[in-house]
Amino acid sequence: MKIRSTVLVLALSALLSACDETDAVAVRIHVRPDFSGTLSASALARPPEGASAPLQTHGVSWKSQVDLRCASGDFAKLSEVGLSDATLTAGEGEGGLCFVRLSLPRGPEVHWAKELVPLDALERKQVSSALDASGTNAEVGSTVKFEITLPTEAIGNGVAPRPRGTKVKAESNLVTLIVPVETALTAGDPIVWHVTWQK
């Protein structure tokens, strides 16, 4: 399906100008010491049929369109948070060693990836130009970022197995996992992300 001819210019420019290409589609979790916290998510969406441009213009021939949906909310206990068909577990072990484990199923029918990026490969390629007109960030709209802000500095941050293109990173108490949509939709063992910190 060809993406229709409009771009969310203002909102996406403001969002992406200060971020990298992985920030368009993201799930962000902020964990407090008692395992309560906040969750925010941003996902791409096909615009409704006949959608108008986000800005009245003249002399512009729009060629790409995508909608960006964002939401945030609070949770009382991280271990009770559900994320589509992914499995999230969290808790505290002996000596105050805390953990989060996120298991992401893979395959053409997985829900979590399709809910965040409900576009086929051609549409994702077209979306890349809509989100970054310079064309320098080919991964825009083609990856999903999971980001967790921990109460204290991360001790461990790893993923197994690590399919091609999957990346993990830790900076003090901020840990991230980046998964290419194509990798998520390819059959294979679940991607399991392990994060630990000391209470």
Element (H, E) at 73: strand 67-75
What is the pLDDT averaged over residues 105-133? 84
Q: Are 179 and 141 in contact (CB under 8 A)?
A: no
Tell whether 1 is covered by a domain.
no
Give the chain's domain count: 1
Mean pLDDT estimate for the chain: 84
Tell whether the model's pLDDT for residue 51 goes beyond 80.
no
DSSP state of 104: E
Tell whether 3 is covered by a domain.
no
Tell whether 4 is covered by a domain.
no
Percentage of residues of the chain with pLDDT beyond 70: 82
- pLDDT tier for residue 130 given thresholds of 50, 70 and 90: low
Tell whether the model's pLDDT for residue 18 goes beyond 50.
no
CA–CA distance, 33 with 60 (Å, rounded to integer): 51
| Confidence at residue 137, expressed as pLDDT on a 0 to 100 scale | 62
Instruction: Give per-residue burial for 145-156: e unless 16+ CB within 10 Å, then b.
Output: bbbbebbeebee
What is the pLDDT averaged over residues 77-102? 96
CA–CA distance, 152 with 159 (Å, rounded to integer): 20
More confident residue, 166 or 129: 166
| Amino acid at position 164, single letter | R
Least confident segment among 8-22, 33-47, 148-162: 8-22
Q: Which range marks the domain in which residue 25 is found?
A: 9-51+61-198
**3-class DSSP assignment, residue 181:** helix
CA–CA distance, 43 with 67 (Å, rounded to integer): 8
More confident residue, 153 or 63: 153
More confident residue, 190 or 134: 190
More confident residue, 107 or 139: 107
| Confidence at residue 138, expressed as pLDDT on a 0 to 100 scale | 62
Q: Which residues are registered as beta bridge partners of 35?
A: none
pTM listed for this prediction: 0.83
**3-class DSSP assignment, residue 76:** coil
Tell whether 2 is covered by a domain.
no
Tell whether 71 is covered by a domain.
yes
Tell whether 79 is covered by a domain.
yes
CA distances from 48 to 33, 45, 61, 129 (A): 41, 9, 19, 19
Least confident segment among 6-10, 12-16, 70-74, 190-194: 6-10
DSSP state of 46: P
